[in-house]
Chains A and B, each alone.
Chain A
Amino acid sequence: MNKRPLWTSLILIVVIAWGSLGAMVASGWDPKLGLDLQGGFSVVLAAPEGTDQAVLDQAVITMRSRIESLGAVQEPEISVQGDRRILVQLPGVEDRERALAAVGTTGQLTFRPVYDYQAISPAFLDGTLPLPDSMTTTTTAAPDATTTTTAASDGATTTTVAGETTTTTAAAETTTSTTTTTTTTQPPVIPDGIDPDTGISLVDDPNQPVYLPGDDGRVYSLGPAFLTGADLTGAEPGFGSIGLGGTGGWTVDPAFTSEGGAKFEAATAELSQFPYGDPRRQMAIVLDGKVISAPSIAQDVAAGESLPADTVIITIGSAEDSQQQAEDLATVLRYGALPTTFERESEGSVSASLGSDSLRAGLIAGIAGLILVALALIVYYRVLGLIAVLGFTVFGSLLIGTIILLGQTQGTTLTLSGVTGIIVSVGITADSYIVFFERVKEENHRGRALKPAVDYGFKRAFHTIITADTVTLAGSALLWLLAIGPVKGFALTLGIATLVDVIVAYYFTRPFAQLLVRSGLGEGGAMSIRGAMGTTATEVTS
């Protein structure tokens, strides 16, 4: 047998396993520990007085889904505390604001007709001006606000750049017009509950007309919502051509339910009856009481014509953090709005709930257990046991390396559940060796010489290992996909460990054993493979 491929495989996997772990440790990468082992960040979110318990429970479910879909934070602990508070604990400190935004954002999305809009004067904001009645009938465009239409090749898409300019793409030539003073023919109903200082509605009730601020610095007068976040089936972040001259930017593409789609089409048909340039031709997209964009129906859409629902895009922009903003907004929309608004209370970092004593005890116990396993294997299988012990180091390096890597790139954290997964995987990987060694013994006892016993024994044992590992792997993959919380963390560790087990068995154990049986340690001496077989060379050759 050609020994070179065996050596190549053996050296390669040892170098990869030890080398990558060594490199990670040298560059100061640690596994990210979870809330129970290392502590993290804690915030209490308070709902308004008198919030129903069922509403809080629903909010907990939504918050958990949102955080887990961020991917960056694993295994948050979220519970209802008292009669109107939710206690959120997150491991680690990175991306804390992002995670907090994910739990704290209400995510109430509405699509509303625009009645009118007006620039907010600074005096208006600092409360020196009373709420003008004229605001409901007259709007003055911000001095630099321009409404721009640009040519587009693929028909009408409604988009808006969040900022000073409102852009509408249409299949027409570029025209620029400046809106000056407009007098609305149909004065909107003055809603109740307006902040006397800012002129903005206190509550963003989807069923009422409201005054809401826009990202573009205007105050919008808006009608009751055409449709809300409940009409969405999902939302996907995307990158596409938006704004003037088709500069790229991040967008969120909401998907409607069939009912929501019909509502949207009816709404656009209603809006397109207004002439182009009239603010009432615009539809405002409102998130948590803020108009994030208010695109106009494109100029070439005839009066009464509707737009298909799949043309809706919420534009985020092209700033550095736009991608994250788009992804986070899509996440918030996908899992629906929180049933109520929450305010942050008592934030702070929290210590590990297990404490260093438990972690230390666990480590000492784990190492003691490993030493016992190693001793048992060496006593029982002699030099083959040594393969297993070296194999453990390769297995451990690959496993810990993968966990560190996932922690650094995906924010995967290692909790007590994960550590349990690792300890159990030691048992499973030890079993792979035992299945193999017992098989070799059996083949040897049946009369095969040592070398073919090792070669054939591996082939058969590997079949068993693959079959058994497939069950474990399928189990952990399913648990990982379907479960949430600590169960997910456990499934990940166990799944990785099972894969590593198969890799180590094939690329480390097999070549090592085959090389060993061809070396001086194959025959001769109590410590040799022959010694472990409990047979003698003559017994076999007969």
Chain B
Amino acid sequence: MSVWGDLYRGETEFDFVRNRRRFFIISGVLILVSIISLFTRGLDGSVDFTGGAIVEAPNHSGQDVGAYRANLSEIGLAGARVQIRTEPDGSETVVVQTEALAVDMRDQLVAKVAEISGDNPNDLSIEAVGPTFGSEITRRAIEALVIFLLVVALFITWTFEWKMAAAALTALFHDLIITAGVYSIVGFQVTPATVIAILTILGYSLYDTVVVFDKITENVHELGNRHTFTEIANLSMNQVLMRSLNTSLTSLLPIGSLLFVGSYLLGAATLREFALALFIGIAAGTYSSIFVATPLLTEWKETEPQWQRMQRRASRRTSGIQLNEAQVASVKAAEEKRATGATPRAPKRRTKHR
């Protein structure tokens, strides 16, 4: 049987959990690089966040928004916001907003706008403009996010358990930091659309993790009295692997299409910024729900007495009744715990299986 055939039937037997250290190292390095870049290079906020310069000029030549933007990107101002304002008397004014510029860039901007609009550069003035996506919107968005995360954590705790909530949120931060890190490293401008995209990733990452945890919970109920948590986690992930891959594919196809067809082939640079964030974020979201959230959960769960007992039983099954020193120690520790009154949970009730 080929791997693809197994994958198709959900019968793969990849050992995701055994290699978890490797994945943790990969993720850790990515997060570290992202954080370093975020602190040293920072993020490049667009005019919507930082404010900048605004130039207005009578649009004598009658050019459209696209023509202005194309010409402005030639002098490196691809992120400029261009609008045509129709005055009550019917005449047109072109309004160009850019991020804060150095003096020589300001002159270039004025000259360029004047050239396209057919005005005298000396007639145009450049003014400062404040952010539209100002500190108030940012503050409110952050407040909303914090409350959102709290509610989600409570919800997952209530539906599953708190360790799953913690693992899911860890995976979430993993995705957010890496996405923000890519923006910082590549130096793409962060626009309001990017913020939206990052919020989307948040929803997506949680969604993806919840689907995997739902499967684990179900398998624990069915198999929890015969298998170790590691085995169950591995089984669950192999079962949902095809779903994860397919979902990533169907989510990434429209976004990838937006990224490549929209922004590269058709030249709509404005679409690139959020399509990229979504692309990275969703890829990271799929990765983290398999390689971060679940291995992390496994690491935690295996320390629980109930699952440690299961592990001892499993190792007895495989290696005969010979216990190594560590296992003897852990059995002793467990017995001591029992003596002190800390009773381990009774094995889960056997549910029907066929």
Contact = CB atoms under 8 A, between A and B. Distances in A.
Interface of A: 39, 42, 56-57, 60-61, 64, 77-83, 87, 346-358, 360-362, 364-366, 368-370, 372-373, 376-377, 380, 416-417, 420-421, 423-424, 426-428, 430-431, 434-435, 438, 441-442, 445-447, 460, 463-464, 467-472, 474-476, 478-479, 481-487, 490-491, 494, 534-535
Given A372-B253, A442-B10, A475 B136 contact: no
Contacts of A421: 196, 200
B317 interface: no
Contacts of B5: 534
Nearest to B258: A365
Given A351-B83, A417-B196, A490-B199, A365 B266 contact: yes
A431 to B, nearest CB: 4
Q: Which of B127, B144, B197 has the most CB of A within 10 A?
A: B144
Contact of A534 (B9, B196, B252): B9
Contacts of A373: 250, 253-254
A491 B86 CA distance: 32
Contacts of A56: 130
A427 to B, nearest CB: 3
A361 B263 contact: yes
A375 to B, nearest CB: 9
Contact of A372 (B9, B129, B132, B257): B257
Given A369-B254, A442-B239, A460-B218, A472 B266 contact: no
A472 B172 CA distance: 13
Nearest to A464: B214
B266 A479 contact: no
Nearest to A352: B65
B88 interface: yes
B224 to A, nearest CB: 17
17 contacts: A60-B130, A61-B136, A79-B131, A79-B132, A346-B85, A351-B64, A366-B257, A417-B192, A426-B254, A434-B250, A468-B211, A474-B151, A475-B152, A478-B147, A482-B140, A483-B140, A486-B133
B47 to A, nearest CB: 9
A423 B193 contact: no
A485 B247 contact: no
A361 B269 CA distance: 10
Contact of A471 (B81, B82, B85, B203): B203
Interface in B242-294: 242-243, 246-247, 249-258, 261-263, 266-268, 270-271, 274, 278, 282
B203 A475 contact: yes
B128 interface: yes
Interface string B134-149: 1011001101110110
Contact of A64 (B8, B136, B210): B136
A29 B255 CA distance: 28
Given A364-B262, A430-B250, A435 B140 contact: no
A417 B69 CA distance: 20
For the residues of B in contact with A, the DSSP-based class is helix
A360 B266 contact: yes
Contact of B134 (A79, A366, A475): A79
Contact of B278 (A346, A352, A360, A424): A424
B159 A427 contact: no
A490 B93 contact: no
B207 interface: yes
B190 interface: no
A127 to B, nearest CB: 29
A362 B54 contact: no
B95 interface: yes
Given A348-B88, A486-B133, A365 B257 contact: yes
Q: Which of A370, A426, A464 has the most CB of B within 10 A?
A: A464
B113 to A, nearest CB: 15
Interface string B58-69: 000000111001
B137 A487 contact: yes
Nearest to A424: B200
List 5 tightest A-B contacts by C-beta distance, closest first.
A427-B251, A369-B254, A80-B130, A369-B257, A365-B262
Q: Which of B204, B253, B255 has the most CB of A within 10 A?
A: B253
B267 A361 contact: yes
A434 B254 contact: no
B202 interface: yes
Contacts of A61: 136
Contact of A353 (B8, B65, B127, B140): B65
B242 A438 contact: yes
A472 B199 CA distance: 11
B66 A417 contact: no
B262 A362 contact: yes
A60 to B, nearest CB: 7
Contacts of A479: 141, 144-145, 148, 199
A435 B239 CA distance: 11
Given A358-B270, A427-B247, A486-B192, 19 more contacts: A87-B54, A347-B88, A348-B87, A351-B64, A351-B86, A353-B65, A355-B66, A358-B271, A376-B250, A417-B196, A424-B255, A431-B211, A434-B246, A438-B10, A464-B214, A482-B143, A482-B144, A485-B192, A494-B200
A354 B81 CA distance: 8
Nearest to A535: B9
A432 to B, nearest CB: 9
Interface string B182-195: 00000000001101
A117 to B, nearest CB: 39
Interface in B88-139: 88, 93, 95, 127-134, 136-137
Contacts of B195: 486-487
B206 interface: yes
Contacts of A368: 257, 261
A39 B82 CA distance: 11
Q: Which of A82, A438, A491 has the most CB of B within 10 A?
A: A438
B44 interface: no
Given A351-B85, A427-B247, A487-B137, A370 B254 contact: yes
A376 B5 CA distance: 17
A346 B87 contact: yes
A81 B207 contact: no
B162 interface: no
A361 B144 contact: no
B14 interface: no
Given A42-B85, A64-B136, A373-B253, A420 B193 contact: yes
Contacts of B148: 474-475, 478-479
Nearest to A474: B151
B223 interface: no
Contacts of A82: 127-129
A434 B207 CA distance: 14
Interface string B152-176: 1001100100000000000000000
